[in-house]
Chains A and B, each alone.
Chain A
Amino acid sequence: MKCRVCRGKAVIDLPRHNASFCPACFDSYLMDQVWKAIDEFEMFSKNDRILVAVSGGKDSLALWDILNRLGYHTTGFHLDLGIGGYSGESVEKTRAFALRHGLSLHVESLVQEVGASVANIADLTNRPPCSACGVSKRHLFNRAAKTLDCQVVATGHNLDDEASRLLGNILHWQDGYLEKQDPALPDEGDLVRKVKPLSRLTEKEMAAYAFLKGIDYVVHECPMSVNAKQLFYKKIMNQVEQESPGTKQAFYFGFLDRRRRFYADKEEEAPAHVCRECQSPSYTEVCTFCRIRLKVARSEQDQDVTTRS
């Protein structure tokens, strides 16, 4: 298979574009896609300081690498989720990447912040692990951005993440989520801007980029996400994509084109409260993150009382 651009030996074929690329031309294609996303959705400028949420996986490390190559000011933020060896490897690979590229990295621990790991939070609060993880990340990313003087939080969500999430939201007509499903969410009060610069690129393209750039990332799947619904939706989307290449991007980009028509008259609703525990913006008197934190603390107190009696 030959590269569509230079006719050299191809290393990746992209059926959705009916194209194959050699490493150099693939790099140009991928950088161009990221730049297009940043430009189209006015995600940030060279004057912004960007907090890159880095998990140690292929997408977030590749995103950090790309933004650094494009000359943006970045600070990495890693949240240690306390998931045994998986989290240990994630922290290690993130630190190694930062060191290798001379990048600034800030690491926080969920166990220190909440008093429990993702698995324990899920048990104590009866939430799915991915939900407990998501709530904690959103809260702590925002807090870190403000503390570290960053105007934007960038995450490594890719086209597969967004298309599968869209499928789930449509299947359950989650209007509230559909309204906010956007590669760039503006800042609102104390909530900083959130962007997804990889939303034009597939999971396979990001893995290929990480491999070709020699990025050492965590290949193993998060042990907490084994039965996650999103993986099921991804599987369905990939089956459709195999039969009809290009459907995934048509589905997601088509939604973005039409979304403003569906939700045209709706104003963005800023959180009406300030959490009485942490003073973060909140839709309720106590924010979801603090409710989790307080529930974990109460459960531990109850356990102490039971043990003593």
Chain B
Amino acid sequence: MTDSDSQTKQDNERPGEKTTLSVYNAQTGTRGQVVYRRKVHRLLKDLGFDPETVLVIQGEQLLTQDETLAPDIEVEIRPVISGGSR
């Protein structure tokens, strides 16, 4: 097993853990189920979000990139970009 395989296994769900996660996009107001990832940065990568452009919130807590996500609590992705040609 390579280091990369090992990292992927750590980032993915563990035996007995939930395999999906509820995600709420605060800007579009949409909710959905996605593949559960343990780390915030992996979830954002899956969803195609640049970490600089969103806040990740779970259970009223602001999370950093290396934080572990709780599998049973909905995650809010809150985009921070605004503005037009001002």
Contact = CB atoms under 8 A, between A and B. Distances in A.
A134 B50 contact: no
A130 B54 CA distance: 23
A207 interface: yes
Given A1-B66, A13-B65, A211-B62, A239 B50 contact: yes
Contact of B80 (A15, A128, A204): A204
A134 B63 contact: no
Interface stretch (A227-235, A257-265, A290-298): A227-235
Given A11-B63, A211-B55, A222 B82 contact: yes
Contact of A157 (B27, B29, B53, B86): B86
B84 A130 contact: yes
A20 B27 CA distance: 25
B10 interface: no
A206 interface: yes
A207 B85 contact: no
Contact of A12 (B50, B64, B82): B64
B27 A220 contact: yes
Q: Is the interface of B mostly helix, strand, loop or mixed?
A: loop
Interface in A109-136: 128-131, 133-134
A219 interface: yes
- Residue among B54, B64, B67, B84 with most chain A CB within 10 A: B84
Interface string B61-86: 11111110000000000111111111
Contact of A230 (B27, B79, B86): B86
A221 interface: yes
A204 B85 contact: no
A74 interface: no
A53 to B, nearest CB: 11
Nearest to A228: B84
A135 to B, nearest CB: 11
A203 interface: yes
A59 interface: yes
B53 A11 contact: no
Interface residues on B, range: 20 to 34
A224 B50 CA distance: 23
Contacts of A128: 85
A219 B83 contact: no
A133 B27 CA distance: 22
Nearest to A245: B52
A207 B83 CA distance: 14
Given A11-B64, A238-B50, A239-B50, A161 B83 contact: yes
A279 interface: no
Given A228-B84, A231-B81, A241 B52 contact: yes
B9 to A, nearest CB: 22
Interface string B28-69: 010000000000000000000011111101000111111100
A136 B5 CA distance: 56
A118 to B, nearest CB: 10
23 contacts: A12-B62, A13-B64, A20-B64, A133-B86, A134-B85, A161-B83, A168-B85, A202-B52, A203-B82, A204-B54, A204-B80, A208-B55, A211-B78, A212-B62, A220-B27, A220-B29, A221-B79, A221-B82, A230-B83, A231-B81, A231-B84, A234-B81, A234-B83
The 5 A-B residue pairs with the shortest CB-CB distance in the complex, in nearest-first order: A130-B84, A225-B84, A228-B84, A207-B80, A130-B85
